Structure formats: C-alpha cells, structure tokens
Chain A
Amino acid sequence: MSVNKLKTGIVSFGTSIVDHSTNLKDTLTFQHKDYDVDDDLIKHYKYDIEKAIGGLKYIDHQTSRQFKTHYSRLFKLNIAIVHRFISLIGKDSLHFKGIEDYYNDFDKFQATQVIPMVHPKEKDIVIESVNHELFNYLSTIERLKWKVSRSWELHTESIHLRVSEMNGYLTETLKLIRKRNKKQRAYHETDKKINKLSKKNTPLDDKETEKLKKYEKDIKDLNAEYNKLNEKLKSILPHVISFLDEFIETITQIILHQQITTYEEIKNSIKYFAMFHGYLSSEAGEGEEDHIQSFETIEDEWEKAITPTRLQIESFITVIFEKKPELLDTEIEDKDKTTMSNKIWNKMSKTVTERKHEHKSKDHVNGTFNDTLEADPLTSYIKFEDSNMYRSETYFPSKLVSSVDVKVPKPIVNPNLPPLPPRSNTAETLKILPPTPILHQSIKPSAPVPPPYTPVSYNNSYSEESIDDDEGDADDMSSIKSDISVESVSSDFILHNSAPDLVNKNLRKAYNSSKNDIKFAPITSSLKNDFINNSTSAINSVVFNKTSSVSYKLLQINEFFTKLTNTPQKDRRLVTALYDYDGVEPGDLSFKKGDQVEVVFDFQQIDTLYNESNTNWLIGSTISKTNQRIGFIPSNYFS
C-alpha cells in the first residue's frame, strides 16, 4: 500500500514537473511525433538558416569566379583581339618568320639592277593613325585590366572574409539548434521511461524506485537545460534572421556598387580613348549628353567606311576564281552566322560553368525575411489605435495577434453631414500666422503683412539633387529600406518582449549604433546659412514658404497648439462628437462619432473671426492621457 502511495506520489511529482516545463506541456502528438509551437518555429528557422549558408557560399564563390574567370577572361580576350588587329593592320603587320631573308635576297638582286625597284618593305601600306589608335587602345585596356582586377581583388577578398564570418555564426546557430533538439529528445526519452515505470502494475522494487528517482532527477536537469537553450534560441533567432537580412541587403549594396564602379571605370577609359580618336558623335543624340554613338550610328558609319572596299575586293576576287559566287556581292548581314555546333557547344559550356543557385526558403513566395519586424508606430496606430500594439506576427507566435485584438472600425456613412464652417478665416489666419511668440489669446489675425522678399539663391549647392530628380516609379523603395528610426524602435521592442535574462543588453546598443549615424537631416548649404546667420523668423518664413508651405504651416500650427496647451485655463468644456470627421486640411483633428473632445480654444471668441452663423472652428484635444491629439474641429459637429 505504501509503495503504491509512493508511486502515485511520484507520478504526481512527475506530472508536476511536466506542468512546470511550460514549453513541453502543450505537446500534442502529431504523426507519432511530439510537436509543439516552438518546434515548428525552430524547425522553420533551422531550414532557413541552412539554406542561407548555402546561398551565402554561392555568392562568395560566384564573386570570386567573376573576378578570377569572367573579368580576367574578358580583358584577356580584349587584349588578344587588339594584338591580332595589330598584327593584321597595325605596325609591322603581316611580318613572318624569315622575312629578313627575303629582304636580303631583294637587296642582292637590287644591286645587280640598273633601275631601282620598290623595296617590299615600302610596298606595305601602313596608316600611321591606325597604328597609333591600336597601340593606344592596347595600353588603355591594359591599364584598365590592372585597375579593375586590383579593385576586384579587394572586393572578392572582403566579401569572402565577411561571408565566411557570417557563415560561421550561422553554423554556430545551427549547432545550438541541434543541441536543443538533442536535449529535447533526451527529455522525451526519459519521460517515456518514467511513464513506463509509473504505469507498471506491480509495485516497484527498490532498484526500480532508485531508477525512477534517478530519472526524475535527470528529467529535471534536462528540462532546465532544454528550457535554457530553448529560451536562448527563441530570443536569439529573430535577431539572427534580422541581422542576416541586413547582411544580405548590405552585400547587395556592395555588389551593386562594385559593379557600378567597374562599369564606370571601363566606360570612362574607353570613352576617353574614343574621344581622343574621334569615335564620338559630333552632336548629342536625343536624350543623351555624352555623345556616345547609338548602335545605328555605329552601323551606318561602319557601312559607309567598308562598302567601297568590300566591292573593290569582291570585284577582283571574282576575277581570280569563281567557286562560291553566292558568297560575294551580297550585303553583310547582322544575323548570327555561327555554326550550329558552335552554338551547341556554347550552350553546354555555359550550363556547365554557370551554376545557378536559388535560395529556397521555407516560405517560397515571401522569402526568408517575410515578416515585418519593424514596429511602425503609425501603422500600428492605424491598425490597433495604439502605437505600441504592433507585433511581428510570424516570429513571435506566443504574441500572436488574435482577431479580438484587432478592432476593425465599421465605417458609418452619414450622408447628412452638416456643412463645415467657413474656412477662409482659419485658413487665412494660419497662413499669415506670425511666427513671433503668441501669448495667450493675443492672436492678431488681421493685417496680413506679407513677409519681405529676400532673394535667396537656390540653384547652387543642391547636393542631394537626386532626391528631387527621381522619377516617381520606384523611389519609395529606398525609403522603406532605410527606415532608420523604425528599425531601432523595433529592436527596443524585441528586447522588451523577450526573456530579459538571456538577452545581452549590449544588443540594444549594437542595434542602434550603425543605423543611427546620421544625426541631422542633410540641409542644403544655402538654407543652412540662413538658419545660422539670420535666425530671424522673417527669413525663416520666406524660406519655408518657398520650400514647403505645408510643413511650415504645420510647424506654426504646432507651435501655436503647444502654447495653447501650456496655458492654464479655467474651464475646458467637454463636447461629444455627433458625426465622424476625417481631417481635411493640415491641422484638423480627426474624430469618430461619440468621441469626447476637450475644447481648448474657441475662435468664436475672437472678434475678427466671429461668424454670424454661430458655426466656427474650435481647437479641440482628445482626452486620452497617452495619445493626446490636438487640432481644429468644426463646432457644428459637436453637441
């Protein structure tokens, strides 16, 4: 009996352990396999990381191939071609071994003759400018080869070192995952043994009790170890993936820039050569400033140069021998005349040498970095009406946003909205709102003094020109990728939510260090001078009115609002909204029907702004403590 008691006690002890192991308790048997949320998540990560290692290796390999094989081949061929051209049409062209013997023979023969004959050396027509051109081209390409290969050597080395280091970290992560899985397996095995023992019908003998005790101890240790590893992985893995994302993006930038530099180098070298030898067109074609000839011009010029020569050659070739008349007297075509076998060979060699590599992430369509780790407060606000609510949805399964959390506001269309009060007043007020300090209610909306016109030169020193020049087709991409502040917000946020004892506090620093290098917005120097030298607000207003009137307006409005909220007021009445209102102009406060708004300031109280219809604009503020918003509201929308 007592043994039985002991047994049940132990069993209950065992279950209590299982209960304590928070991550294993919700294990469900799925296809004879114990499965839980973390397993799924970590498996996903493991797969992606494994694939990422392969992908990075490929990129490293391919980069060095580009340098060692492709570029070197390109230049080698180019140089070989020039050498051929030189030996065909350049200096000392068509010289053969033993040509001196012929010259000697000629000299001997010449000595016996009375009438001097043309020396075979002289017979060879050589054009100086062509010689010069070929030689120059050769040295251009050789210099180019040296430059490009030096820069690629550095590039390859740099990519290789860094990719290897990254892969090292990723491999370590994989090791950690494996360790965790091992612990998990060991845990399950021990768990099974305990189950087996505890399910025994016969009472346990001493040996078995001993065993059971040992197992219980083991399982406790294993559970602790497993939990430690699991927690660590859970806190680390999202970082690993986000760093990998950053890494891949930066690698892309580096590769892009390396390529641009190389192409620019090649282009500039050849262009310089072409300019010197008059290969550029005399006038710029449409849409081009650099005088580089279009393919049509190239073809036309070539045709013009070659046709008389071709006809001449072909006319006397026919005289000599007529075997293949179909070859002659036809225009030279632009078709690829390469033989079939050649083409097949090319295709084959290409597939052999050009191994492709696709990074196959688990989520095939969205890729590895498919989740939005950034906690964009604005998005969050729109979605959850709270800027702190936004959560990553894939990598924090424990924090999954349930449908209850997401309140989808039902759009209530009210067709009978009262007309807005006349705006001209406020709009005008705002426009001429003097930037000088406004105290209390001493606004002087009348007397709109136009700001004195000061000529400011804008045309120089727009260093960030391309910001304006961008075509609108895809420039939003850059802003997405460089969302510095958002990124740092997210990191704080992750730190806050993951197990605090495991996450290195230094991470916060590490996260924010490199991305926040820009401490101030790039301002064109002319503007900067204005800010520094003439800090009078008149100039400021001129500047702002010219650059961006809306932002200036908002700035001024904001200043005004701050003053208002800071002014102590005796009675602030609360009003309730009767309708929905989405702000129309900058500075308007949007609200929903039923919202309570505190009236901070009433325009009706000011003589100059007084409206006879008794509808006017108020300045209202929401009463929430955390997300206080302030703005203009139409008085007739409120009770």
Chain B
Amino acid sequence: MSWTGIKKAINRAGTQVLLKTGQMDQTVDKEFEFEEKRYRNMETTSNKLQKELRHYLESLRILTNSQVNIGESLSTYYGILPSQKFNSLSQQYYSVMKSLSDKCLSELEYPYNQTVLNPISRFNSYYIEINEAIKKRANKQLDYDAMKNKVKKLIEKPPTNGEYETKLSNYQEQLVDLEKTYETLNQQLKTEIPKLINLRIPFLDPSFEAFVKIQLRFFNENYQQLNSLQAKLDAKTREDYIHGRLDKRLDDILGKMRELNITG
C-alpha cells in the first residue's frame, strides 16, 4: 500500500467511526442494500454448497473403501488372493469390490469435478471480483460522505478568516467529483449484481442435473457389477435371498455349533 493509500485508509476509518456513532449522515441506497443482501446470501450458500459437494465425493469414497475393507477382511480368511483364481465367494467379492472402487470411483471423479465441483468453485470465484467492486464502492461512499460532512460543517460554522469562499468552492468541486465516482460505481453494481443473481439459475441448474445423473450412473454401475456376481451364485442362495432366508442359514450354522456341545 502506498503512502496515499495508508492516508486514505486512516481517513476512511475515522469516517466510519463518525458514521457509526451517528455524528454524520450516511448516504443510504435501499435498492443497493437489498441487492447486496441477496448477493451475500447467495455467496455464503454457494460457498457452503461447494464444501458439501466436496464432502459428498469424499463420503462416496469412504463408503466404497469401507466395503472394500470388509471384503478384504472376509477374503483373507481364504488366504491371499492368487492373481486370477478365486476359490471362494469372499475372494470373488473382494475382487469385485476392489475393481469397483478402483474403476467406478475414478471414473466418477473427473465428470464430478468437471460438471459439479469446478463450476461451483468457478461461480464462487466470481464473488472475488464483485466483492472487490463492492469494497471500492463502499470506500467511495465513505469519501463522499466525509466530503459531504465537511461541506456541511463549513456551512454551519463558517471560518472567520476570508478563506470561506475559496474553501467552499474547492470542497464543492471535490464533492461533485466524489459523488460522480460513487454514483457510477453504485449504478454499475446495481445493474450488474442482479444480472449475476439472475444468471445463477441457468448456471447452477445444469450442475444439479449432472450431480443427480452422476449419482445415478455410479450406483447403477455398482449395482450391475455386484448383480453379475450375484448371478453366479447357486440357485439355492438366490432362492433363499428372495425369500429372505439367508439369515436362517446363519442360524443353522449356529445351531450346528451348539450341537458340538463345546462346553459340555
């Protein structure tokens, strides 16, 4: 920051204090305020959205991973995986889960980044630009208000020496300049912010659609792969599954364990 920049900042801080304490009139533009509040709302929401979308991808990953872990734990009962030969369902299950996590997840990642995550983050990057403009406008507003105050004070308490006329005209000249810069900025933002706000729907809706579609694709692929594994099971297992009797099988095994009469 240059020297003049620091001086400006200090002056503006002073003005802000005066404004806050009500010792100075503030230029109020309700229309702008309304748009700004809408804009701020949009900003916080879409930033949160970005975070949540990232977490969502992460949670898909964690879910798949935990399934792979279960599969691995089950398959290690049957020894280390030989390269292609699977003797047990557990090993087969593990290999399917592993390929699912390797293939489906990585396949999902790029489209998810492209159509969901990165567009939102791009949209959020627009805020940086607009925030800068809003800040600039606020500064100009402060300058304008300070100058207005100066002029007001000068009129209320005209100095006794003869500098009044020259000072007044000087101040008023500055005031006009400041008002002009403030007004242009204000007007610009008042037209551009609603534009951005209105374009949010065509911008974000495709991402939402992609979000749904990608999920559909992902779960469908998972389902298909597991289903093809299930199709390889014997008829009895499938029948039991359809009738919800798989749990009964476990009970049968436990019954057999009981028959062993270990403690007796």
Task: Give B236 Cβ to nearest chain A Cβ, in Å.
Answer: 6
CA distance A370 to B194 in the complex (A): 70
Do A368 and B234 touch across chains, with their CB atoms under 8 A apart? no
Chain A residues 461 to 511 lying within 8 A of chain B, measured CB to CB, are 464, 466-467, 469-470, 474-475, 477-482, 484, 504, 506-507, 510-511
CA distance A239 to B111 in the complex (A): 51
Instruction: Please give the distance in Å from B144's CB to the nearest CB on chain A.
Output: 19
Is A312's CB under 8 angstroms from B206's CB?
A: no
Question: Does A26 reach chain B (CB closer than 8 Å)?
Answer: no
| Neighbouring B residues of A367 by C-beta, 8 Å | 76-80
- Of the listed stretches A13-21, A252-260, A548-556, chain B binds A252-260
- Asked if A584 CB lies within 8 Å of chain B CBs, one says no
Chain B window 62-84, contacts with chain A (Cβ cutoff 8 Å), 1 for yes, 0 for no: 11011101101110111110000
Instruction: Tell me whether A366 is interfacial, beta carbon within 8 Å.
Output: yes
In whole angstroms, how far apart are the Cα atoms of A157 and B238 in the complex?
Answer: 22
- Contact: A293 with B201, CB < 8 Å? no
Cβ–Cβ contact B211 & A81, under 8 A: yes
Q: Does chain A have a CB within 8 A of B157?
A: no
- Report chain A residues within 8 Å CB of B200: 88-89
Query: What interface size band does chain A fall in?
Result: 35 or more
Binding site secondary structure of chain A? helix
0/1 interface trace, chain B 210-234, chain A, CB 8 Å (1 if under)? 1111111101101100110111111
A301 at the B interface (CB under 8 A): yes
Task: Write the A351-380 contact mask toward B (1 if CB under 8 angstroms, else 0).
Answer: 001111111110111111110000000000
In Å, the complex CA distance between A62 and B253 comes to: 22
**Chain A residue, CB-CB nearest to B40:** A96
Q: How far is the CA of A256 from the CA of B230 in the complex (A)?
A: 8
Q: How far is the CB of B242 from chain A (nearest CB, A)?
A: 10
Q: Are B260 and A504 closer than 8 Å at their CB atoms?
A: yes
The residues of B that contact A357 with a CB separation of less than 8 Å are: 69, 72-73
The contact of B38 among A96, A273, A338, A482, by CB within 8 Å, is A96
Query: Contact string, A90-104, partner B, CB cutoff 8 A, digits 1/0?
Result: 000011101100100
A264 vs B212: C-alpha distance when bound (angstroms) = 16
Collect the chain B residues with CB atoms within 8 Å of residue A480's CB. 87
Query: Is the Cβ of B132 less than 8 Å from the Cβ of A321?
Result: yes
CB proximity of A104 to chain B, nearest CB, Å: 11
Question: 1/0 contact trace for B240-264 toward A, CB 8 Å?
Answer: 0100001111111111111111110
**Shortest Cβ distance from B203 into A: residue:** A309
Q: Give the nearest-CB partner of A65 in chain B.
A: B66
B58 at interface by CB-CB < 8 Å: yes
Q: Does B155 contact A (CB under 8 A)?
A: no
Q: Does B174 contact A (CB under 8 A)?
A: no
- Interchain CB contact under 8 A, A299 and B111: yes
**Stretch of B6-14, B120-128, B163-171 lying at the A interface:** B120-128
B28 to chain A, nearest CB (A): 10
CB within 8 Å for A368 and B262 given contacts A94-B42, A102-B33, A257-B241: no
With known contacts A137-B212, A252-B90, A274-B212, A247–B253 Cβ distance under 8 A? yes
Residues 312-343 (chain A) with a chain B CB within 8 angstroms: 312-314, 316-317, 319-324, 327, 332-338, 342
Q: Which residue of A lies closest to B204 (CB)?
A: A89
- What's the Cα separation between A320 and B219 when bound, in Å? 43
CB interface residues, B 181-217, toward A, < 8 Å: 188-189, 192, 194-217
Distance between Cα atoms of A354 and B37 in the complex (Å): 42
Contact at B201–A478, with CB atoms within 8 Å? no
B226's closest neighbor in chain A, by CB?
A260
Instruction: From A158, A309, A511, give the contact of B202 (CB < 8 A).
Output: A309
Residues of B24-77 at the interface with A, using a CB-CB cut-off of 8 Å, are 30, 33-34, 37-38, 40-42, 45-46, 48-49, 52-56, 58-63, 65-67, 69-70, 72-74, 76-77
A302 touches B207 (CB 8 A): yes
Q: Is the CB of B213 within 8 A of A298?
A: yes
A35 beta carbon closer than 8 Å to chain B? no
Within 8 Å of chain A (Cβ to Cβ): is B235? yes
* Cβ-based interface call for A518 (8 A): yes
Q: Does A292 contact B (CB under 8 A)?
A: yes
Q: Is the CB of B194 within 8 A of A123?
A: yes
Residues of B within 8 A of A158 (CB): 247, 250
Closest B residue, CB atoms, query A367: B79
A332 to B115, CA, bound (A): 8
Bound CA–CA A274/B217 (angstroms): 11
Mask of A512-523 contacts with B, CB within 8 angstroms, 1/0: 011001100010
Q: How far is the CA of A152 from the CA of B8 in the complex (A)?
A: 63
Is B149 an interface residue, CB under 8 A from the partner? no
A295 located at the interface, meaning its Cβ lies under 8 Å from any Cβ of chain B in the complex:
yes
A248 CB–B CB distance under 8 Å: yes
Picked from B34, B63, B92, B259, the residue with its CB within 8 Å of the CB of A70 is B63
Q: A439 contacts the other chain (Cβ, under 8 Å)?
A: no
A267 in the interface (beta carbon within 8 A): yes
CB distance from A354 to the nearest CB of B (A): 6
CA distance A253 to B132 in the complex (A): 59
Nearest 4 pairs between A and B by C-beta? Answer: A367-B79, A482-B234, A334-B114, A514-B252
Q: Report 22 cross-chain contacts, Cβ distance below 8 Å, ordered by A residue.
A: A70-B63, A81-B53, A88-B49, A176-B263, A240-B257, A243-B260, A253-B246, A271-B216, A292-B220, A301-B210, A302-B207, A317-B196, A324-B128, A337-B121, A354-B66, A363-B79, A366-B79, A368-B79, A369-B88, A474-B86, A481-B89, A510-B259
20 more A-B contacts (CB under 8 A) besides A98-B37, A255-B74, A518-B236? A66-B70, A84-B48, A169-B262, A236-B262, A264-B227, A266-B219, A271-B220, A279-B212, A306-B119, A308-B202, A313-B196, A323-B128, A324-B125, A334-B111, A367-B76, A368-B78, A469-B231, A477-B88, A477-B92, A482-B236
